[in-house]
Amino acid sequence: MKKILILILLISSITTIAKTSTKNDFIMESIPDEIKINKNQNNEEFEKEIIEIPNPSKNGEFRITVTFPDKEMELEYVDYVFMDNDFNFATTEDSYNSLTNLERGRLSSRVFVEPVLEQNGSIEYKVKTHDNKVLIGFIYKVKPNYYINSVSDIIFIDVEK
Digit-coded pLDDT (tens) for 139-153: 988 888 888 888 888
Tell me what pLDDT residue 91 has: 93
Q: How far does the chain reach from its first CA to its final CA, in angstroms?
A: 70
Q: How confident is the model at residue 58 (pLDDT cuts 50, 70, 90)?
A: confident
Query: How far is C-alpha 25 from the chain's CA centre?
Result: 27
**Cα dihedral across residues 9, 11, 13, 16: positive or negative:** negative
Q: Is the pLDDT of residue 42 over 90?
A: no
Domain 43-160 = CATH 2.60.120: yes
Q: Is the pLDDT of residue 39 over 50?
A: no
pTM over 0.95: no
> What would the pLDDT profile of 85-114 be if each residue is shown by its tens digit?
999 999 999 999 999 988 898 999 999 999
Q: CB–CB of 46/139 below 8 Å? A: yes
Over residues 1-23, the mean pLDDT reads: 51
How far is 124 from 106, CA to CA, in rounded Å?
24
Residue ranges of domains in the chain:
2-35, 43-160
Q: How confident is the model at residue 75 (pLDDT cuts 50, 70, 90)?
A: confident
Query: How far is C-alpha 24 from the chain's CA centre?
Result: 26
Tell me what pLDDT residue 111 has: 95
Tell me what pLDDT residue 148 has: 86
Over residues 38-63, the mean pLDDT reads: 79
Tell me what pLDDT residue 25 has: 54
Over residues 128-137, the mean pLDDT reads: 93
